[in-house]
Amino acid sequence: MLDIKFLRENPDAVKENIKKKFQDSKLPMVDEVIELDAQSRKTQQEADELRAERNRISKQIGALMAQGKKEEAEEVKKKVTDAAAHLAELEEKETELQEKIRKIMMVIPNMIDPSVPIGKDDSENVEVEKFGEPVVPDFEIPYHTEIMEKFHGIDLDAARRVAGNGFYYLMGDIARLHSAVIAYARDFMINRGFTYCVPPFMIRSDVVTGVMSFAEMDAMMYKIEGEDLYLIGTSEHSMIGKFIDTMLDETELPQTLTSYSPCFRKEKGAHGLEERGVYRIHQFEKQEMIVICKPEDSPMWFDKLWQNTVDLFRSLDIPVRTLECCSGDLADLKVKSIDVEAWSPRQKKYFEVGSCSNLGDAQARRLKIRVKNENGDKYLAHTLNNTVVAPPRMLIAFLENNLQEDGSVKIPEALQPYMGGMKEIR
């Protein structure tokens, strides 16, 4: 969410930013907010003047009573009563105006970084760099669920009977591999200096609206009926929410946390052939990383975060590339975002396995995450997040890249301790 003062002073820049995100329908909102803001400030000024007048009259009443002029004091009291009624009207109007402003400001997109490429959707995202040599083996790579089924490692039919489409049972060595990847990712991030955390898996509505846009909320979140609680779509929501309405001392920054959680997503819309199986599902587990830092440090942390994911995948012999998200593919709160994509030997192309985002002070403004420096000055923190690893989607990349011609799956050395010393699955 933008600072209202910034919007007031830079309306043309805000409008240009909206155009870059191809959301022209939101352009009138800028002028609407400016008009509402002018009304709000005028109302506030009038109310402040009335409060000052009320205080002056109250002192006058006290002086008259001390002089024994009760009748004059009673006459003046009527002025206080009239002023109080008018002040109540002004305060109510002020509250209504502020609420209208807040609702509109919540849907005006954040200012994107100047380095973000301009494009309408994800088809115009820009490749940044490749890591590792993508290989297409001489033998055929089966669809990922077929690989899992050969190990008796997945049961989609039973999951449909129990929960419907978009769920799964992982079994045996495949289930163990899933847990091993999560545990390895946890230790990988701890070794990089991040504090491990297991957060709440449900959050209240004020946290939801603090961490994401309304469009994302509608497309992703499951609400608990009869409760002010939502199932998290990613532990980033809980982790950033941990700092809601807090004042951090600057010496406490940066906050670097890595978290495990299950994730629950509606995943609305039709899915293509390649998104069947366990690629796009309603429930999965994930290791996440978040950073809360000083504004000037957020670009540095952005580069560190996506590099962590690249390094983890490369340690498991999986080729990856980074893709810069264009303006039209950025969610409204994001300043800049990079997707990490893994190589699929079967599809002979890359597919998304993680996303790294810098949200500037947008989440901090909504959640009131503030910082106080040594001089007592206060400012809003910057927040960032990135996927460490999210199986079972990551398992697709793992199985395809480590499948051997005889049907076995090799276990990279880094993961072997988490698989009981196994060097391959047969």
Domains and CATH numbers, the chain: 4-105 (1.10.287.40), 122-425 (3.30.930.10)
- The stretch 57-78 carries a mean pLDDT of 66
pLDDT at 148: 95
What does each C-alpha distance from 389 to 107, 197, 348 come to in angstroms? 30, 15, 21
Confidence check: pLDDT of 98 > 60? yes
pLDDT at 413: 96
- What is the band of 291 on the pLDDT scale with cuts at 50, 70, 90? very high
Confidence check: pLDDT of 421 > 90? yes
Confidence check: pLDDT of 426 > 50? yes
pLDDT at 46: 87
Is 113 within 8 Å of 17 (Cβ atoms)? Answer: no
pLDDT at 218: 78
Gap between the Cα atoms of 361 and 384, Å rounded: 10
Predicted TM-score (pTM) of the model is 0.88
Angle, in degrees to the nearest 10, between helices 70-105 and 27-66: 160
pLDDT at 70: 66
What does each C-alpha distance from 128 to 159, 311, 350 come to in angstroms? 39, 16, 13
pLDDT at 17: 97
Widest pairwise Cα distance in the chain: 106
Gap between the Cα atoms of 204 and 374, Å rounded: 33
- The stretch 5-27 carries a mean pLDDT of 96
Please state, for a pLDDT cut of 70, what percent of the chain lies above it.
Answer: 91
Gap between the Cα atoms of 339 and 354, Å rounded: 6
What is the pLDDT of the chain when averaged over all its residues? 91
pLDDT at 48: 84
Confidence check: pLDDT of 270 > 60? no
